[in-house]
Amino acid sequence: MRNFDPTPLFRASVGFDRVADMMDRMLAAEPAQPTYPPYNIEKTDENAYRISVAVAGFTADELNVEVKEGALLISARKVEDDEGRTFLHRGIATRAFERRFQLADHVKVTGATHADGMLHVDLVREIPEALKPRRIEISGARSGDKAKLVEGKSEGKSKAA
């Protein structure tokens, strides 16, 4: 059931090209999405969010967080320092990874912290003043103004006749 035709939606909307592109990418993606490393996305305030990624075994120097083309990219590369070490069991996954999160319009990354094997990336949605709802004052013509306007037209017509 992957055949979804959004054409009827486009007839009633303008400027949602980015949403359509994102839906195309999501539907065309491989069914087996990577699950490493595990992460949480939480809403911390009305316009604030936090992405927490489990990065056990990585130092802050081995982690990379960047925003590129409307997406948050979190990646890590482990520096191999296994010289002289013999593992009987190696269960801590320190393989390289790359996680991509598509950001909505006006969502900005405010900071990142690394503590206790967790990487926390804080985000905030900053809506520009131009896009915030504003109340428009409605002015109406007063009855006295209409009378003057009508009188002005009638006077003009009588002079021309």
The pLDDT tens digits for 93-112 are 788 999 999 888 889 999 99
Q: How many CB atoms lie within 10 A of CB 123?
A: 21
Structural domains in the chain, sorted by start: 33-80+91-133 (2.60.40.790)
pLDDT recorded at residue 69: 86
Residue-wise pLDDT for 113-125, tens only, equals 999 999 999 999 9
Please answer whether residues 16 and 10 qualify as being in contact, where contact means their C-beta atoms are separated by less than 8 angstroms. yes
What is d(CA 21, CA 41) in angstroms, rounded to the nearest whole number?
23
Q: How confident is the model at residue 151 (pLDDT cuts 50, 70, 90)?
A: low
Q: Which residue has the higher pLDDT, 147 or 34?
A: 34
Range name among 50-54, 132-136, 154-158 with the lowest pLDDT average: 154-158
